[in-house]
Amino acid sequence: MDKVEHITVATNGINMHVASIGTGPVILFLHGFPELWYSWRHQLLHLSSHGYRCIAPDLRGYGDTDAPESASQYTGLHVVGDLIGLLESFGIDRVFLVGHDWGAMIAWYLCLLRPDKVRALVNLNVPFMARDPKTINPMEVLRSTFGEDYYACRFQEPAGPGEIEKDFAQVPTAKMMRILFSSFGPNPLIVPKETGFRGIPDPPCLPLGFSEEDISFYANKFNHKGFTGALNYYRAINQTWDLMAPWIGVKIQVPVKFIIGDQDINYHVPGLREYILNGGFKKDVPRLEEVVVMGGVAHFPNQARPEEVSEHIYDFFKKLQLSTNNPKATSTTTSFNGNRVSGLAHLHAL
């Protein structure tokens, strides 16, 4: 990791820490919760060695990037604004884009709001969900599906500011990182208010793909920064939903590859697997070219199976670069455990 360069960029009223390495076409990596630029450490090294310039910021509220105090400053529009300013500061016109978790959500927003800035997208674990004017806001959906003790509901502030932060403060940060990186499997993360995160036992082993050094890196950064900035993304989710009303009906119009683990909670939310595989996702993302379902992987595939994810990213972007020079018809494919099958064959498999 010594070859990775670190700079601070002024953008959209904040100072943003950015890690970068390599030269060539630019890939912009967007991390999720509870992560940092460091979540892409494997992909930065792999893709830069294949002729790409890789850029991975700490998003606002995380790591060495500024953390505005108010949750209202963490909408998707704010973070997209940060990224546009980041690209402007580097003199970059368009990027290949990769996102995971909250970074995947922000990637969808960037494609929706500024498709002129995105050459293609590889998104992990969080599919695009078009805003339906007939549905209730996202937090009400989560409450009705999983209950008040679902972790994202607990991240709200019904009893006043700082309630969940006080709960976090009672758990050693390294233990908290082990808990969070071991969660988000097929079962929802339920955190009863009576016991909180302090009542969740320390996992018996390290999360898949993580070393003690990795856990320490995250713990040190969150010890310094705290968790409020990261939690504010959840607290602003309904505000983002309200602000996105003007884009009702707008589809994602960039080439997309989507990767999800078959042990990820998102693959087990009622109706979501069917949306991803049976045509709903393709309707909202017309240029969806590949869907990859990774067997035996939960919510952090870029860290659990880094080489496989890196190759998926490289293969997709390289294919698009070649097709730009030699256009030819392509078709949507679906992959299970790395073995691609045609969409028709998949439908028969169901």
pLDDT (tens digit, 9 = 90+) per residue, 63-100?
A: 999 999 999 999 999 999 999 999 999 999 999 999 99
Residue 331 pLDDT more than 70?
Answer: no
pLDDT tens-digit profile of 212-263?
999 999 999 999 999 999 999 999 999 999 999 999 999 999 999 999 999 9
Q: Which amino acid would we find at residue 148? A: E
Can you say whether residue 270 is alpha, beta or left, with left for phi > 0 and alpha for psi between -120 and 50 degrees?
A: beta
For the domain covering 5-324, report its CATH number.
Answer: 3.40.50.1820
Q: pLDDT band at residue 161, thresholds of 50, 70 and 90?
A: low
Q: pLDDT band at residue 133, thresholds of 50, 70 and 90?
A: confident
Instruction: Report how far Cα 326 is from the mean position of its chain's Cα atoms.
Output: 31
Q: pLDDT band at residue 327, thresholds of 50, 70 and 90?
A: low
- CA proximity to 89, closest of 26, 36, 143, 38: 26
Q: How far apart are CA 343 and CA 93, in angstroms?
A: 34
Q: What is the mean pLDDT of residues 49-70?
A: 98
Q: How far apart are CA 65 and CA 171, in angstroms?
A: 24
**Catalytically annotated residues:** 101, 234, 299
DSSP 44-67: HHHHHTTT-EEEEEPPTTSTTS--
Full-model pTM: 0.92
pLDDT tens-digit profile of 145-155?
999 999 999 99
Instruction: Report how far Cα 259 is from the mean position of its chain's Cα atoms.
Output: 11
First to last CA, the chain: 43
The residue written with tokens 């309200």 in the block is 242
> Exposed, middle or buried by CB within 10 Å (0-12, 13-18, 19+), for 349?
exposed
Determine what percent of the chain falls in helix, strand and coil, rounding each to the nearest 5. Answer: 45, 15, 40
Written as six digits, the tokens of 44 are: 């930065």
Q: How far apart are CA 126 and CA 106, in angstroms?
A: 10
pLDDT tens-digit profile of 204-221?
999 999 999 999 999 999
> Exposed, middle or buried by CB within 10 Å (0-12, 13-18, 19+), for 252?
buried
Look at residue 172 in the predicted model and tell me its pLDDT: 97
- E-strand ranges in 31-89 read 53-57
C-alpha to C-alpha distances, 306 to 22, 197, 303, nearest whole angstrom: 18, 28, 5
Residue 332 phi, psi dihedral angles, 5° rounding? -70, 135
Report whether the peptide linkage leading into residue 34 is cis, meaning its omega lies within 30 degrees of zero.
yes
